[in-house]
Amino acid sequence: MGLGEFCQDRKLVGLRDVYVETLIELAKDNADIVVLDADLSSSTRTGRFAKEYPDRFFNMGISEQDMIGTAAGLALVGKIPFASTFAIFEAGRAWEQIRLSLCLNRLPVKLVASHGGLTVGEDGPTHHCTEDIALMRVLPNMTVVLPMDANEMRGVIRKSLSLDGPLYVRGSRENLPVVNPPDMDFEFGKGRTLRQGNDIAIIACGLMVDFSLQASKMLETEGIGARVINMSTIKPLDKEIVIGAARETGLIMTVEEHSITGGLGSAVCETLCESSPVPVKRMGTMDRFAVSGSPCRLLDLYGLTPKAIAENARALYRDYRG
């Protein structure tokens, strides 16, 4: 349990904790905020909101499809619903409800999923979610965000109130290392370069941004300058920063805790193919199901560690520049 071995001596904070703390703060001044959950309110932390605002919390039981429809109805009468459960049940089980009831109607419902990716760990592939970016970004009107740390999550939730249309935010079960300052000013649709470098650019989201930063530091000692971009908003994609990175470095790598099919890597490739094609290496969970295991062992097994990212970047660099 925990990401300790990849984040030694670092401050780790839960995205789900900050999500709900921020909601509780915002709800003081905004009586329209309501929260829904599907029997996972202790895991998603929305139970804390329920304690503060019992009248504005609705546990829908184990029925994700009804939760999405109910959230749509609440939005239609002027409420600002946040609906939370595990990523696979939110994006997977209720996909068509999200498509019709939320996206076609362009309703400002915020889906804040916890337990995304592989690091759900021991519960196994039934509960892992490595398909949600693909499922959500294909929907018109949807915005898709994977914050990389707790401070970015706070920014996302604050800014979400002024976002028009539905939003999908993927969080994690694990507490993640904190990189951004507490007062970070998040902006939808903007990638951020967190580390400069002109030999290769690593575009990542979620936990993989921190791991890519670690990889970039390893590569620096070998004289390879690896730029690292936090692409927390996957839809709409910041095409400008992607194309700029391709033009300036000529080599792109993408890293995500998601299948390499349909996720961040695919979105980056779609953009580059049409404007400035350069070699791209996609890192992710590949096209297969994972197994039960601790988060760290799974990340090892599926090659999503700082070391593996550095190795892949080094290989890509040597293939083309070596």
Partner 1 sequence: MDPKEQSRLVELARESRILILNMLTKAGSGHTGGSLSVVEILAYLYFHKMRLRPSEPSWPDRDRLVLSKGHAAPALYTMLAMRGFIPKDVLFRLRRVDGSLQGHPDMLRTPGVDASTGSLGQGLSIACGMALGLRLSSSDSKVYAILGDGEIQEGQIWEAAMSAAHYKLKNLVAFIDANQLQIDGRVQDVMNVEPIAAKWESFGWNVQEIDGHDFAQIDEAIAAAEARDGDKPNMIVARTTKGKGVSFIEGKVGFHGVTPNMDELRAAMKELGGSVLLEGKS
- Residue 31 CA to residue 29 CA, distance in Å, equals 6
Provide, rounded to whole angstroms, the least separation between the CB of residue 19 and partner 1. Answer: 21
Provide, rounded to whole angstroms, the least separation between the CB of residue 61 and partner 1. Answer: 7
Q: Are 103 and 141 in contact (CB under 8 A)?
A: yes
Nearer to partner 1, 52 or 300 (CB): 52
Provide, rounded to whole angstroms, the least separation between the CB of residue 70 and partner 1. Answer: 4
Nearer to partner 1, 135 or 283 (CB): 135
Nearer to partner 1, 60 or 253 (CB): 60
Provide, rounded to whole angstroms, the least separation between the CB of residue 75 and partner 1. Answer: 8
- Residue 209 CA to residue 147 CA, distance in Å, equals 9
**Contact residues for partner 1, defined by CB under 8 A:** 34, 55-56, 58, 60-61, 63, 65-66, 68-79, 81, 96-97, 100-101, 104-106
Nearer to partner 1, 65 or 276 (CB): 65
Provide, rounded to whole angstroms, the least separation between the CB of residue 90 and partner 1. Answer: 15
DSSP secondary structure, 9-42, as one string = T--EEEHHHHHHHHHHHHHHH-TTEEEEESS-HH
- Residue 202 CA to residue 229 CA, distance in Å, equals 6
- Residue 166 CA to residue 160 CA, distance in Å, equals 9
Nearer to partner 1, 60 or 242 (CB): 60
E strand intervals along the chain:
12-14, 33-37, 57-59, 80-84, 110-113, 143-145, 167-170, 175-177, 192-195, 200-204, 226-230, 233-235, 252-255, 280-283
